[in-house]
Each structure stands twice: as structure tokens, then as C-alpha cells.
């Protein structure tokens, strides 16, 4: 399990957290080699989570693009409506293995908070979620969901009252409670060993793409596309394909206008330390974390997982930024062409995939990870249409 991806990653944390990170890494090492752990993970992924998710040929969207075939990896069909379940389940089982009875989590849009609350309930663990006050207002239905699932939601008033502040609050809680509490981090970010643990739990996406594309069209795709917030659904898609010749394209949030930085840390940021790891970060000249803006709350984060930073620098993956208006356009295409309401996060990836398909011959195959469903975004989409 790498501590570093090239120069990126590491664990820039207060000393009080070091024993918890060491314990987590040790537990993870023993769990991943333990057939009983793997069997329990597979059983719940399937019977509670609904895996494997289908690989769907988007025939009408392909016709619209007029080039390469577009296939969708349907993570929107996972329990809870997004890929976040894959990671929450895995880490919930690790928490139980460590004998920790309490889970804490941060959440921005509320999707990770909901996934953690579901897992907390299913595994009988007390669950507390930190959420910025601004996000609580923007994502009120998810606050209600978390409460109905038995979790406590702590409003975070500091900073801008959004995701970055919620992570800071969760880290503060963890420093005081590490003996009894597992911090169930929601993306492939944070100090080692979180990025590699999250990547492995999400790699079920790419492993299924491997066998499903062989079964569906006899080989691996030519291109895999996924949206990048913290980078967990993208790294889960990419990881099992890194040693193949499949091209990898990560899609960040470009924000509302050409003048905006959006939340595109890999495209418009530079290396810096955020939340315990060295990676690409959107920051000002003094290294202060920049404000981000995106139509999709799930991509609205100034940092990104360290493995993506390395994939970018090494050239193994490419990253682009897609603007709000184009993501909204792709949302409508998928709704009207295929009868699927995607979340706004993967709508960014869909737009990039359609653009790529247009430029490629019909015998090429593109797989796009549809990381979540769009029910949570109906309000935003309706407002944008007015
Ligand atoms: C949270 C979320 C994302 C962004 O998170 P990653 O860690 O980058 O995957 C993307 N899509 C959906 C549907 C989400 O809920």
C-alpha cells in the first residue's frame, strides 16, 4: 500500500492522530487478506448494495454523438443512489473489526453522510455527521434522510459553512475521540492510508467494468471517463485499468464561467497540502485555500486525491474541466435519450464522453461511470432552466 504516489500523498497530521492511522493501516492489511472479511464485504455489497451494477449500452446517446459507442457503468443503481455506499460499507466493516462503536463523517452534498448513516444503521454503529450550515440549507432532504436513518447531524458554522469546514470539524472530533471512533472519510483524499483504502473499496467499479466489457463487446474499452471531486469514483474506475492500454479521462467541475476556477484542482490548481496530504489544491498566492464554485455540490472541493495528482503528472490519465452549463446540457440529453436522470456530478463526465465520442470512429467504445442518480439535483436543474 503506497504512502506516496510519486511525491504526492503522505500524512501531514497532528501527532495525536498517528496511532489511529497506524491502527487503520494494520487492520486494513489483515482484513484484505482475510477470506471471512472479503466474504462479508462481498455478501453485503451484493445483498444490501445491489452489486454488481449493470454496464448499459446508451444506444440513443451514442446516436446523438454520432461516433464511438457510449456505455454507462450504472453506479446510480447502488443502494442510496451513488457509489459512496461502496466505501462506506468497506470502512464500516473495518471500524467493526477495530472494535470501534462510533462512526463520524463529513459531508458536503449529504450523499456521503447518507451512505454512512445507512451503514451505521446496518452494522449497529453510532453515527454522527458534520455538515456545513450552508450545505445543510442547500441539501435539506439529505439532512432529513440522515436523521431518519438514526444519525446525528452536527451543523458546522466556521469558515464558509461548507465541505472543507465540515472535514476540519470531523478531524477535530477524531483527535479527541480516536480510541472509540472511526473517521469514515468519504473520498480518496486525506492522510495515508485513507486514499489507498478508499481506492481499493471503490475499485469494485473498475473490476466489474473489466469483466462486463469483455462479456459485452469482447475486450476492454478504448476510453474510460469519470468525474472527479475528491476523486473516489474516478480512481475506482481507473485503478483496475491502469496496467491496460485503456485511455483514462477525469472530468472536474469548471464552474459557471470561463473566468471561474470552478473546483478544478488538477486543471487549475497547484501542489499544496490540504487535509493531511500533498496534492493539487486550488489556492491563492499565499497558499490559502481558494473558494470553489460548481453547480454540483459533490464536485465542489478545492483538493483532490493524491493518486490523481500523480496520474496527471505522469500522463497516465488526462483531466479536463467541464462547465456548469455543459453538465446541465448532458443531464437533459441522458434524461431524454435514455430515460435516466443522472446526478449533476457525472453529468460533467457525460458531456466530456459525448464530445470524445464525436471525434472517434464507431468501432471504439467509451465507458462512463455514472456515479449517482439525479433525484437530489432536481431542484438545481429546475432553477437553472428558469
Ligand atoms: C460525492 C459524489 C461525487 C464526487 O466524489 P468522488 O469522490 O470524486 O467520486 C461524484 N458523484 C456523485 C454522485 C457523488 O455523490
Q: Is the CB of 346 under 6 A from ligand 1?
A: yes
| For residues 313-336, average pLDDT | 98
Q: Grid coordinates standing for 38?
A: 472479503
Residue 82, pLDDT > 90, answer yes
Which atom of ligand 1 sits closest to the CA of residue 111? 15
pLDDT of residue 162: 86
pLDDT of residue 258: 85
| For residues 299-317, average pLDDT | 97
Q: Is the CB of 82 under 6 A from ligand 1?
A: yes
State whether residue 312 is helix, strand or coil: helix
Query: Which residue's C-alpha comes closest to atom 13 of ligand 1?
Result: 372
Sheet holding 102-107, edge to edge: 152-156, 126-132, 102-107, 181-183
Q: Is the CB of 250 under 6 A from ligand 1?
A: no
| For residues 86-98, average pLDDT | 98
State whether residue 55 is helix, strand or coil: strand
Query: Which residue's C-alpha comes closest to atom 5 of ligand 1?
Result: 229
Rounded Cα–Cα distance for residues 253 and 123 (Å): 34
User: pLDDT for 132-141, tens place per residue?
Assistant: 998 898 888 9
Q: Is the CB of 371 under 6 A from ligand 1?
A: yes
| For residues 266-271, average pLDDT | 97
For residue 178, name the pLDDT band (cuts at 50, 70, 90): very high
User: pLDDT for 96-130, tens place per residue?
Assistant: 999 999 999 999 989 999 999 999 999 999 999 99
Residue 245, pLDDT > 80, answer yes
pLDDT of residue 159: 87
Which of 83, 189, 204 has the most ligand 1 atoms within 8 A of CB, as the residue to mutate? 83
pLDDT of residue 1: 74
Name the residues annotated as catalytic: 84, 106, 371
pLDDT of residue 340: 98
pLDDT of residue 233: 98
pLDDT of residue 2: 80
Residue 297, pLDDT > 90, answer no
Q: Which residues pair with 253 in a beta bridge?
A: 322
Query: Which residue's C-alpha comes closest to atom 1 of ligand 1?
Result: 298
The residue ranking higher by pLDDT, 141 or 34, is 34
For residue 355, name the pLDDT band (cuts at 50, 70, 90): very high
Residue 207, pLDDT > 80, answer yes
Q: What is the dihedral of CA 176, 181, 183, 184, to 10 degrees?
A: -160
Q: Is the CB of 84 under 6 A from ligand 1?
A: yes
Q: Are 124 and 157 in contact (CB under 8 A)?
A: no
Rounded Cα–Cα distance for residues 251 and 351 (Å): 9
pTM of the full predicted structure?
A: 0.97
**Cis amide leading into 52 (omega within 30):** yes
pLDDT of residue 109: 87
| For residues 78-98, average pLDDT | 98
Amino acid at each position: 500500500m503506497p504512502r506516496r504516489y510519486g511525491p504526492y500523498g503522505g500524512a501531514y497530521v497532528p501527532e495525536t492522530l498517528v496511532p489511529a492511522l497506524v491502527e487503520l493501516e494494520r487492520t486494513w492489511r489483515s482484513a484484505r487478506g482475510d477470506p471471512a472479511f472479503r466474504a462479508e464485504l462481498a455478501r453485503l455489497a451484493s445483498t444490501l448494495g445491489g452489486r454488481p451494477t449493470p454496464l448499459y449500452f446508451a444506444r440513443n446517446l451514442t446516436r446523438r454523438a454520432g461516433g464511438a459507442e457510449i456505455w454507462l457503468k450504472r453506479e446510480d443503481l447502488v443502494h442510496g443512489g451513488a457509489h459512496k455506499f461502496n466505501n462506506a460499507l468497506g470502512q464500516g466493516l473495518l471500524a467493526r473489526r477495530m472494535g470501534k462503536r462510533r462512526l463520524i463523517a463529513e459531508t458536503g452534498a449529504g450523499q456521503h453522510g447518507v451512505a454512512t448513516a445507512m451503514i451505521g444503521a446496518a452494522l449497529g454503529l453510532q453515527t454522527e455527521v458534520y455538515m456545513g450550515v450552508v450545505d445543510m440549507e442547500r441539501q435539506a432532504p439529505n439532512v432529513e434522510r440522515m436523521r431518519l436513518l438514526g444519525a446525528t447531524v452536527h451543523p458546522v458554522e466556521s469558515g464558509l459553512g461548507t465541505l472543507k469546514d465540515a472535514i476540519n470539524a470531523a478531524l477535530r472530533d477524531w483527535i479527541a475521540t480516536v480510541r472509540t471512533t472511526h473517521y469514515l472519510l468519504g473520498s480518496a483524499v486525506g492522510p495515508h492510508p485513507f486514499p489507498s483504502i478508499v481506492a481499493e473499496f471503490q475499485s469494485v467499479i473498475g473490476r466489474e467494468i473489466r469483466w462486463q466489457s469483455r462479456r459485452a463487446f469482447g475486450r476492454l474499452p478504448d476510453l474510460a471517463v469519470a468525474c472527479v471531486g475528491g476523486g473516489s469514483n474516478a480512481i475506482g474506475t481507473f485503478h483496475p485499468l491502469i496496467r491496460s492500454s485503456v485511455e483514462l479521462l477525469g472530468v472536474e467541475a469548471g464552474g459557471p464561467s470561463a473566468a471561474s476556477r470552478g473546483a478544478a484542482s488538477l486543471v487549475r490548481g497547484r501542489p499544496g497540502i490540504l487535509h493531511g496530504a500533498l496534492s493539487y489544491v486550488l489556492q491563492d498566492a499565499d497558499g490559502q485555500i481558494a473558494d470553489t464554485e460548481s453547480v454540483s455540490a459533490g464536485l465542489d472541493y478545492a483538493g483532490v486525491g493524491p493518486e490523481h495528482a500523480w496520474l496527471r503528472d505522469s500522463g497516465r490519465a488526462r483531466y479536463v474541466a467541464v462547465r456548469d452549463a455543459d453538465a446541465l446540457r448532458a443531464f437533459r440529453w441522458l434524461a431524454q435519450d435514455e430515460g435516466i436522470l443522472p446526478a449533476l456530478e457525472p453529468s460533467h463526465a457525460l458531456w466530456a464522453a459525448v464530445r470524445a465520442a464525436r471525434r472517434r470512429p464507431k468501432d471504439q467504445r467509451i465507458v462512463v461511470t455514472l456515479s449517482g442518480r439525479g433525484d437530489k439535483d432536481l431542484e438545481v436543474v429546475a432553477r437553472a432552466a428558469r
